[in-house]
Amino acid sequence: MHKAVTSQVDWSAIREDFPILRQEVRGHDLIYFDSAASSQKPRPVIEALRNFYEHDNANVHRGLHTLSGRATDAYEHARQRVAEYIGAANPDEIIFTRGTTESINLVAQAWGEKFIREGDVILLTVMEHHSNLVPWQLLAERKGAHLRFLPVLDDGTLDVDQLSSFLTPEVKLFAFTHISNSLGTINPVADLCAKARAVGAVTLVDAAQSAGHMRVDVQELGCDFLAFSGHKMCAPTGIGVLHGRAELLDSMPPWHGGGEMIVSVALENSTFKKPPHRFEGGTPNIAGAIGLAAAIDYIEMIGRPAIFEHDSQLAHYAADRLTELPGTRVFGPKEERGALVGFVMDAAHPHDLTTFADQYGLAMRGGHHCNQPLMRRFGVSGTTRASFYFYNTIEEIDRMIEILHAAVHFFSPKERRSPVHPLS
């Protein structure tokens, strides 16, 4: 196994914390290159969930008994940990949701219903994930607002030179991704937020692909809203975060009515709690929040700068080695890239390629990655994506290249096949 890419961290020891990686799939060692879809979970996170269910499980906020008190403390401690992790001014700026998708829908519905009017413009980019696109389409349709899209250049970066012509005073919201889940592009968030603020636009940053991989500090970024998912950063599925600046959250009406979010209820009307509880109607994902806090502890134990360095080294190495393969087109910026690489090969459709790879225990993703407009922009129906995290190794990438060589051999017409099988 490849020892330390970054000298201070023993990556092999870290990898040992992920029991799921120690298995064979179809008779081969599992190589998990699908962390952009969902990451694996380290033992301390699994143990935190187990500990909660074995010792403290009860509903939060409404019980006067000991277990409910413990569950509430652990849940609110998790909110505090998230606030520290992203540099929020106050834990009350942290709303627990099911994930990035729900966080963005919360803003589109609660903030958007109140503040977006007919003729207003919502600015997005061509590289947005469907979850940072469809909620705004629905809002624009309800309100008679317009959508605008900042273009993406051939190298996979945003066309920031055009920003001033897109960011006019009619723009009420600029929502964009921190890291593209198909291209790996890292957008200049602080700069984009500053420019949006200068025209009075509110900003929303989709941090789904960045929160677990690099330092994300809402004060430094200067964003108004930030959304991310726990499951892409070592935490369980079904837990995510919306960060909103306090004055914005205070100005927003509730979106889900129900228990927990009210102060008092009469038959005809109700009064509501302050944020964040105003936006957390019903029983929340208590264990999920506790798991997210454990994931944050784990990530911070390694250190986000080391994780970023490790993951981007893997992504650059993979992007370089992919160019060795015949008929392969690699997407995304050459200079700076997040922890993933998307590519297409003349040899086979992404679905066939990923199915072939699975025969050798290699888990990748093939398709449009919830980026259909971006795929269209690059003239493809989909790509194959290999995405990495700190438990992956250079050796695994070397093995991926071998498997892809074998795919070229397998999918090429018999008469053009080399007599030597690349995996023999």
Ligand X SMILES: Cc1ncc(COP(=O)(O)O)c(C=O)c1O
The least CB distance from residue 100 to ligand X, in Å, is 4
Residue 92 near residue 275 (C-beta atoms within 8 A)? yes
The least CB distance from residue 243 to ligand X, in Å, is 15
- Identify which of residues 131 and 312 has a Cβ nearer to ligand X in the complex: 131
Interface mask toward ligand X for 321-360; x: CB under 6 A: ----------------------------------------
Kindly give, in sequence order, each residue whose CB lies less than 8 Å from that of residue 159, ignoring residues fewer than 6 positions away.
150, 151, 152, 153
Is residue 295 part of the contact set for ligand X (CB under 6 A)?
no
d(CA 17, CA 2): 16
What amino acid occupies position 155? D
Is residue 100 part of the contact set for ligand X (CB under 6 A)?
yes
DSSP 85-100: HTT-S-GGGEEEESSH
Q: Kindly state the tokens that stand for 119.
A: 């003729």
- Identify which of residues 72 and 132 has a Cβ nearer to ligand X in the complex: 132
Nearest CA to 384 out of 369, 399, 401 is that of 369
The least CB distance from residue 327 to ligand X, in Å, is 27
What amino acid occupies position 372? Q
**Which residue in the set 41, 79, 81, 129 belongs to the binding site for ligand X (CB under 6 A)?**
129
d(CA 359, CA 362): 7
- Identify which of residues 205 and 319 has a Cβ nearer to ligand X in the complex: 205
Is residue 206 part of the contact set for ligand X (CB under 6 A)?
yes
- Count the residues in the chain: 424
Reduced to 3 states (helix: H, G, I; strand: E, B; else coil), residue 21 is helix
- In the sheet with 383-387, reading across from the earlier edge strand, the strands are 328-331, 340-345, 383-387, 365-367
d(CA 251, CA 107): 12
For this structure, is 370 an active site residue? yes
**Kind of pairing, strands 171-177 and 146-150?**
unpaired
**Which residue in the set 35, 101, 157, 383 belongs to the binding site for ligand X (CB under 6 A)?**
101
Element containing residue 24 per DSSP (H, E):
strand 24-25
Scan residues 165-204 and list those touching ligand X (CB under 6 A).
177, 181
- The interface region with ligand X, picked from 81-89, 124-132, 193-201, 332-340 by CB under 6 A, is 124-132
- The site that binds ligand X (CB under 6 A) totals a number of residues, namely 13
Reduced to 3 states (helix: H, G, I; strand: E, B; else coil), residue 396 is helix
d(CA 140, CA 120): 9
The least CB distance from residue 352 to ligand X, in Å, is 22
The least CB distance from residue 255 to ligand X, in Å, is 16
The least CB distance from residue 339 to ligand X, in Å, is 11
- Identify which of residues 11 and 308 has a Cβ nearer to ligand X in the complex: 308
- Tell me phi and psi for residue 378, to 5 degrees: -100, 10
Of these residues, 193, 223, 234, 370, which one is catalytic? 370
Is residue 209 part of the contact set for ligand X (CB under 6 A)?
yes
- Identify which of residues 41 and 129 has a Cβ nearer to ligand X in the complex: 129
Residue 180 near residue 127 (C-beta atoms within 8 A)? yes
- Identify which of residues 226 and 407 has a Cβ nearer to ligand X in the complex: 226
The least CB distance from residue 35 to ligand X, in Å, is 10
- Identify which of residues 120 and 128 has a Cβ nearer to ligand X in the complex: 128
**Which residue in the set 35, 125, 187, 229 belongs to the binding site for ligand X (CB under 6 A)?**
229
Is residue 131 part of the contact set for ligand X (CB under 6 A)?
yes
Residue 127 near residue 371 (C-beta atoms within 8 A)? yes
Nearest CA to 15 out of 32, 28, 27 is that of 32
- The interface region with ligand X, picked from 96-104, 288-296, 307-315, 400-408 by CB under 6 A, is 96-104
Distance from CA of residue 86 to its chain's centroid?
14
Catalytic residue numbers?
370
Site for ligand X, rule CB under 6 A? 37, 99-101, 129, 131-132, 177, 181, 206, 208-209, 229
